[in-house]
């Protein structure tokens, strides 16, 4: 493998800016790497024509620097629009549908100089943390190809781990940045809701669950891409004030981290998950942080009830027009039909009740985060499971009552819209990766990045344990 692909995006961008690396050489190495490993992993889809990509790279070398991502190859998650590429959303209903414009965050990445080379694979409509769909098939875990890579940003996580990309965008409603990052030994950052604005289309007031965010092999690269993606859009009502994110300083001494573990036994966990995450927390202690176990700060059932109501309401709002068409309905995955049916059965007062619970949880979490720099939880309750199953029916002997109950551990951050940074926690039984969530204060991305940077310098898991060659 070309040595430049081992570098993180920050190093690649600096080398291009200084004239030590040509964009055309980086593109050539990137495409060669994709040709070598992607057939077995299936992470990058809708790859653009080689000649067109090499021409763009030559143009980048010949022209002035356009921004901090100048000349860097980047593939866009296949839930977002990138002009000139298909946006399938993993659904046969949209396979081959070409986008005539960029979504907002994609436009910002292009304006910063990134060269969009294709898309990264995702589950159908992003539903479920397992990247498979009837359009492109399943994406393999780079550490164990017979197992799931997580999702819905699974293609992005695998492309990073396998050195097909140095930087990737993702999105996160229910752990879609955090779960695949943990299972692929990379970093994923769900920012505070509103930090990265969504498309100014349809409702922009009510559905405050999903957000775009960066994925990378280092916290410095998370900051690099977050700085490009973030910033308010005047067409939307809830954007946060513009904040710049430069290379994070390592700052762990004196930090206080609350370890929530399995939420007092409420979240079933496979053997080894908690131990692996506890090992990662000992690294923070070695760096001077204080880690304290914390009793469950909120009722687990109340959180789940609020989350599933608000999630089904959002999913049904987006997919109900498709389910109303009998021909289209036959082609929707069962999980989508389940969400639509639940969402359509809700009353306005059901949604209000769920929002009141969400508000109470936000207030409780905000109170805790006055005393702690971060709340810590695993990124998943199970190790990567068999790629051929849709979702695990049991976890540690406990039956799962829905397709997403097994990933309930990601709900506390998502429901409150708090920033959550997934760091690699290391490797457990069978050499499988696991991640640790660090949940921070509203608007507290910079503090999480500084904690992650200190941890990264001490561990360098993505660099120490790259996946075996496919």
Q: Which residues are catalytically annotated?
A: 77, 152, 176
Triad 339, 343, 347: Cα angle to 5°: 160
Q: What is the CA radius of gyration of the chain?
A: 21
Q: Are the C-beta atoms of residues 76 and 62 closer than 8 Å to each other?
A: no
- Strand duo 420-427 + 187-190: pairing: antiparallel
Two tokens, residue 463: 């660099």
Within 264-390, strands assigned E span 290-293, 374-378
3-state secondary structure of 207: coil
Backbone angles phi, psi at 108, to 5 degrees: -65, -40
Q: Are the C-beta atoms of residues 89 and 11 closer than 8 Å to each other?
A: no
Dist CA 407 CA 400 (whole Å): 10
Q: Are the C-beta atoms of residues 153 and 120 closer than 8 Å to each other?
A: yes
Dist CA 401 CA 59 (whole Å): 53
DSSP single-letter state for residue 60: H
DSSP single-letter state for residue 130: S
Neighbours of 467 (CB within 10 A): 20
Q: Are the C-beta atoms of residues 435 and 178 closer than 8 Å to each other?
A: yes
Instruction: Find, among 356, 358, 353, the residue nearest to 415 by Cα.
Output: 358
Backbone angles phi, psi at 119, to 5 degrees: -125, 165
């Amino acid at each position: 493998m070309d040595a430049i692909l081992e570098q993180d995006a920050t190093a690649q961008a600096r080398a291009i800016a200084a004239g030590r690396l040509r964009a055309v050489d980086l593109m050539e190495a990137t495409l060669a790497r994709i040709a070598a490993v992607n057939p077995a992993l299936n992470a990058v889809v809708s790859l653009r024509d080689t000649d067109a990509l090499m021409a763009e790279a030559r143009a980048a070398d010949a022209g002035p620097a356009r921004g901090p991502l100048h000349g860097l190859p980047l593939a866009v998650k296949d839930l977002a629009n990138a002009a000139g590429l298909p946006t399938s959303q993993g659904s046969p209903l949209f396979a081959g549908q070409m986008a005539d414009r960029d979504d907002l965050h994609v436009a910002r990445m292009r304006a910063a100089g990134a060269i969009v080379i294709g898309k990264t694979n995702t589950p159908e409509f992003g539903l479920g943390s397992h990247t498979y769909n009837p359009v492109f098939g399943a994406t393999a875990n780079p550490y164990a190809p017979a197992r799931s890579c997580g999702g819905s940003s699974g293609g992005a996580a695998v492309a990073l781990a396998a050195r097909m990309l140095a930087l990737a965008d993702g999105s996160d409603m229910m752990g879609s940045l955090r779960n695949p990052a943990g299972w692929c030994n990379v970093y994923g950052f769900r920012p505070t809701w509103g930090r990265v604005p969504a498309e100014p289309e349809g409702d922009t007031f009510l559905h405050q669950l999903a957000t775009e965010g960066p994925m990378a092999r280092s916290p410095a690269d998370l900051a690099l891409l977050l700085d490009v993606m973030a910033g308010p859009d005047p067409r939307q009502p809830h954007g946060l004030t513009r904040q710049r994110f430069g290379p994070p300083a390592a700052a762990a001494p004196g930090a206080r981290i609350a370890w929530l573990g399995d939420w007092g036994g409420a979240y079933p966990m496979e053997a080894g998950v908690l131990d692996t995450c506890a090992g990662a927390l000992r690294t923070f202690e070695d760096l001077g942080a204080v880690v304290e176990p914390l009793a469950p700060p909120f009722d687990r059932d109340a959180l789940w009830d609020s989350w599933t109501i608000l999630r089904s309401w959002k999913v049904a709002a987006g997919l109900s027009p498709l389910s109303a068409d009998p021909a289209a309905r036959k082609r929707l995955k069962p999980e989508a039909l389940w969400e639509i049916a639940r969402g359509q059965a809700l009353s306005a007062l059901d949604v209000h009740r769920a929002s009141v619970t969400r508000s109470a949880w936000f207030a409780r979490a905000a109170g805790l985060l006055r005393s702690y720099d971060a709340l810590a939880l695993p990124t998943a309750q199970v190790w990567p499971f068999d790629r051929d199953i849709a979702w695990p029916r049991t976890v540690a002997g406990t039956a799962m009552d829905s397709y997403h109950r097994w990933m309930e551990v990601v709900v506390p951050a998502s429901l409150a819209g708090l920033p959550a940074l997934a760091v690699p926690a290391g490797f457990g039984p069978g050499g499988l990766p696991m991640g640790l969530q660090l949940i921070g204060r509203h608007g507290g991305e910079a503090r999480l990045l500084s904690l992650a940077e200190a941890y990264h310098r001490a561990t360098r898991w993505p660099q120490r344990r790259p996946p075996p060659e496919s």
